[in-house]
Chains A and B, each alone.
Chain A
Amino acid sequence: MTDSASHPASPASTQKAPPSRLREFWSSFKENRGAVIGLIVFLGFLFVAILAPLLAPYAPDTQYRDAQLVPPFWQEGGSTRFLLGTDAVGRDLLSRLIYGARFSFFIGLLVVTLATSLGVLLGVIAGFAPRWLDTLIMRLMDIVLSFPSLLLALVLVAILGPSLLNAMIAIAIVLQPHFVRLTRAAVLTERSKDYVIAARVAGGRPIRIMFRTVLPNCLAPIIVQAALSFSTAVLDTAALGFLGMGAQPPTPEWGTMLAEAREFILSAWWVVTFPGLCILVTVLAINLMGDGLRDALDPKLKRS
């Protein structure tokens, strides 16, 4: 007879083990071609942002008075000295865009971190809190959500005073209700599950159950939301910059660059087109990546 009959309790140990979570995630993520392209573009921008001083041919705010509004090199009058041309005061557009990537990533990262941590904290509390506190938090969030987000951000900046940091704080405040709602909903479904009750029976204190037991199981939708909020943050900062309420000139922030170049739309197309393209491509890449993340992480959409 066989040995397998005497130790049959775990046939899996001799055969191929099922794939690990990470591998399963990656295999379903890479199936989505748009998401992979988004990821590559995103990583490309990240690379540029980190290595900006090495990649940029010039400093972003050096003005070359002899070369104002020089077109890109392939156009008549352009030269390879300034690959993408210069702006009205003779700054190299390419260098400004490369440095601008830094700002965009910094903004995205900070805003998302701020909005996520605050939103998740409030969401977990709301999910576990007694009814009155839950109601209080959620109605507050409803109030924030009932304003057009950009308008609210504008008002906040107007109160705090226009600067890049204030713009970021304003955008974070506008974004965090989404995290609160999402987290609360996830917490409510998780907290009724048996493993949470088991942790309580095992003697877990409320704080531990909230953050060690339940929260890690709510992370998938939050990660997706964070990725998608990254693009909203970049876009909103650009919008605030464009309206003159965000980063102040001469900061090479893409939205501010757009605003500065507004008057040259007809005469020098490149000063508006390239910053706009950068915003478009970054936001599109992040959204594609976020969609891929959702498909791979959200079990409700998962094919089984």
Chain B
Amino acid sequence: MSEAILTAKNLKRHYEVKGGFLKPDATVRALDGASFTLTPGKTLAVVGESGSGKSTLARVVTMIEPPTEGDLIIGGRKIGPEGASGDRDLRAMVQIVFQDPYGSLNPRQTIGQTLMEPLLLNRPEVSAAERETRARDMLAMVGLRPEHFERYPHMFSGGQRQRVAVARALMLEPKILVLDEPVSALDLSIQSQVLNLLMDLQERMDLAYLFISHDLSVVRHIADEVLVLYLGQPVEIGPKQAIFEAPRHPYTKALLSATPVADPALRKERIKLEGELPSPMNKPQGCSFNPRCWRRQDVCTKVEPELQGQGHCFACHNPIPLDETEAA
């Protein structure tokens, strides 16, 4: 296995919420202790429901926001609470593709300008002609036509815009690409085109992907490793095979079971989760999943479980036994 390009250890991001009149200040633990590594050519998928801290993780890894606590080491360099401001080389290493292809392109810039902007800002030594050549090459690489260079985003469909967004992210030759729900706003027939493009590019450029998604069928297809987040905390992390075929954490199992399968012959009894995600401002005592868990024991309401295991880790006092998982 090749060397890790990014290592996160116990990464936390908290937000202070100013209390109003008669209300105390509160801390939102949007991301609360995530550890993982990214390797060139591999994809780590992050799954979880809304409010699980997926997007916060994306913002921290992209250095849009500094971590409150924990270590983030990118390409051998440490990013502390002061962030990475001003360090162009470091910033260029991690780029991001957003979910909404309609909001992520500047409507007043042509596709060409959008693609050339990162070079203009970060590589002043590159001449204007060279910039244009590189942008045009990138346009071809993501499967768009040369005449698209002069056009404005409103003339493009969602799938084409997402290709442009990918192209822009790759202009600085990053090592890591954070994909924040890159296909969930796209139609099914377009989704597969974009997924194929992403897989091709990864292979060609040896990119490390942090693939954030709530769609488990997409994750199952594209991921090498999966990290399951619940209320900002990792509840399970491991190789894709293990997570999908032998989930140990009840939440992972419930998530898998709730995901509809596109085969009417396989209609099955789902594990029904009671209730909804609690507010991250006021997490339950002990294991944060315990109010919704059907395997809850006394200890779960008191003691917060630690991530345990090697390779395939999970944070649960009463994990699903290995022989039981086969049925899933």
Q: Which residues of A contact B (CB under 8 A)?
A: 9-10, 12-13, 17-18, 21, 193-195, 197-205, 208, 213, 216-217
Contact = CB atoms under 8 A, between A and B. Distances in A.
A202 B103 contact: no
B172 interface: yes
Contact of B143 (A9, A12, A195, A216): A9
A201 B91 contact: yes
A197 B64 contact: yes
Interface in B157-178: 165, 168, 171-172
B192 to A, nearest CB: 14
A202 B105 contact: no
Contacts of A201: 62-64, 91, 94-96
A205 B122 CA distance: 11
B224 interface: no
B95 A195 contact: no
Contacts of B99: 194
Contact of A197 (B98, B152, B171): B98
Contacts of A198: 96, 98, 104, 165, 168
A21 B152 contact: yes
Nearest to B155: A18
B304 interface: no
A203 B120 CA distance: 10
A197 B65 CA distance: 11
B122 A217 contact: no
B256 interface: no
B295 interface: no
Contact of A203 (B88, B105, B106, B144): B88
14 contacts: A9-B143, A10-B145, A18-B155, A195-B103, A200-B64, A202-B121, A202-B171, A202-B172, A203-B91, A203-B121, A203-B122, A204-B117, A205-B121, A217-B108
Interface of A is mostly: helix
Interface string B131-166: 000000000000111011000101100000000010
Contact of B122 (A13, A17, A202): A202
Interface string B49-74: 00000000000001110000000000
B98 A217 contact: no
B105 A195 contact: yes
Contacts of B228: none
Interface of B: 62-64, 88, 91-92, 94-96, 98-100, 103-108, 117-118, 121-122, 143-145, 147-148, 152, 154-155, 165, 168, 171-172
A13 B118 contact: no
A203 B121 CA distance: 6
Top 8 nearest A-B pairs by Cβ distance? A194-B104, A202-B118, A194-B98, A216-B108, A203-B121, A194-B103, A195-B106, A203-B122
A106 B247 CA distance: 75
Contacts of A21: 152, 154
A198 B166 CA distance: 11
B105 A204 contact: no
Contacts of B105: 195
B156 to A, nearest CB: 9
A208 B122 CA distance: 13
A217 B92 CA distance: 25
Nearest to B101: A194
A199 to B, nearest CB: 7
A195 B154 CA distance: 14
A210 to B, nearest CB: 13
B172 A194 contact: no
Contacts of B122: 202-203
A213 B121 CA distance: 13
Given A10-B145, A195-B105, A201-B63, 17 more contacts: A13-B145, A17-B155, A21-B152, A195-B106, A195-B107, A198-B98, A198-B104, A198-B165, A201-B64, A201-B94, A202-B95, A202-B121, A202-B168, A202-B171, A203-B121, A217-B106, A217-B108
Nearest to B178: A201
A203 B64 contact: no
Contacts of A216: 108
Contacts of B147: 13
Contacts of A208: 121
B117 A199 contact: yes
B21 to A, nearest CB: 18
Contacts of B106: 195, 199, 213, 217
A202 B117 CA distance: 8
Given A9-B143, A201-B96, A202-B168, A195 B104 contact: yes
- Most chain A CB within 10 A, of B62, B106, B144, B147, is at B106
A13 B64 CA distance: 38
A28 B52 CA distance: 44
Contacts of B117: 199, 202, 204
